[in-house]
Amino acid sequence: METEKKKRIFSGIQPSGMITLGNYIGAIKNWAQLQDEYECFYTVVDLHAITVRQVPAELRARSIQLMSLLLACGVDPEKSLLYFQSHVHQHSELAWILNCYTQIGELSRMTQFKDKSAKHENNVNTGLFTYPVLMAADILLYQTDLVPVGHDQKQHLELCRDVAGRFNGIYGDVFKIPEPFIPKVGAKIMSLQNPTAKMSKSDDNVNAYISLTDDTDTIIRKFKRAVTDSDKDIVYREGKDGINNLISIYGCVTGKTIEETQKEFDGKGYGDFKLAVGEAVASHLKPIQEKYTYYMNNKDYLSEIYIKSARTAHDVAKRTLTKVYKKIGFIQ
């Protein structure tokens, strides 16, 4: 009996800074969990990163760090592909072709372009404007079935589907139309200093986020400084954003329910609770940090992984691009 072919998932992450506890619980932890059920293509999207000015040495360092962290977080090179976007040249080539099938009006409506233009007003470049087209190329290149999307990327996936449909309407069945995949994401982890805002690695206040590479003392210190409220009860309820956030984090790293956490800390003070959350997070991250150090100290082995993955990705991408070239009339 023939085994059912696994559906293909594509997902990418920018090397824009160290992964936070929020990134890990909300998304990256899920990458590892998808590997058994799906055929996963994971990439560090370094081409996307240069829409913002980069210091070359820092970009290289962050790219290697991110690759090492993803492996440490459970991405298995025996089950998934994990490579650098720039190592598969078909991403850029297909992006140029799709630019010619994407309307300026469509790109002008992208809210992320408006947001980033306001944030980087001294560098509103063409790459920032056509960023969603490169994202469409990333996805369509691999005949992707499913794309994990957060709220901020939904509009980009809709554009990808529109462009693929337009191209198929002209040339026939060339691209698979990808579907959004809403994974079972972890809890939305909020800032430790402003618990009404999402935890972000770009936060100016280093006490607002936990980096996956923070040592135990740093983690505990940051949790001790976490903003809570003037109440005394460790309960999950409306109006207690800081405590709600800490309860969520504690549950994510210990597997305990809200009710179990409330019972465990009934009658205890905020200081005891903050310390317990910090210790639980540090304990949970320790094996990840040990694996991260291993990969960072074994660069040759690390390069074997991403080069091998890129070669496989290249072979898949080449088949799609060859078909596209033939359809639009390029000489083979």
DSSP string over 33-47 = HHTTTSEEEEEE-HH
Per-residue pLDDT of the chain (332 residues; tens, 9 = 90+): 445 789 999 999 999 878 899 989 988 888 888 999 999 999 999 999 998 889 999 999 999 999 999 999 999 999 999 999 999 999 999 999 999 999 998 988 887 776 676 676 777 788 888 999 999 999 999 999 999 887 667 888 999 999 999 999 999 999 999 999 876 656 689 999 999 999 988 888 999 999 999 999 999 999 999 999 988 899 999 999 999 999 999 999 999 999 999 999 998 999 999 999 999 999 999 999 999 999 999 999 999 999 999 999 999 999 999 999 999 999 98
Active site residue ranges: 116, 198, 201
DSSP string over 267-329 = T--HHHHHHHHHHHHHHHHHHHHHHHHHHHH-HHHHHHHHHHHHHHHHHHHHHHHHHHHHHHT
Q: How far is CA 54 from the centre of its chain?
A: 19
189 near 143, Cβ under 8 Å? no
90 near 141, Cβ under 8 Å? yes
Rounded Cα distance between 77 and 308, Å, is 9
Architecture of the domain whose range is 8-186+299-328: 3-Layer(aba) Sandwich (3.40)
- Per residue in 208-243, pLDDT (tens digit) is 999 999 999 999 999 999 999 988 899 999 999 999
φ, ψ for residue 310, nearest 5 deg: -65, -35
- The pLDDT of residue 118 is 66
Domain extents in the chain: 8-186+299-328, 206-293
Q: For the chain, how big is the Rg over CA atoms in Å?
A: 22
Alpha-helical runs (H) found in the chain: 21-23, 29-34, 46-49, 56-72, 90-99, 104-108, 111-119, 126-140, 154-171, 216-224, 241-254, 258-264, 270-297, 299-328
Q: Which CATH class is domain 206-293?
A: mainly alpha
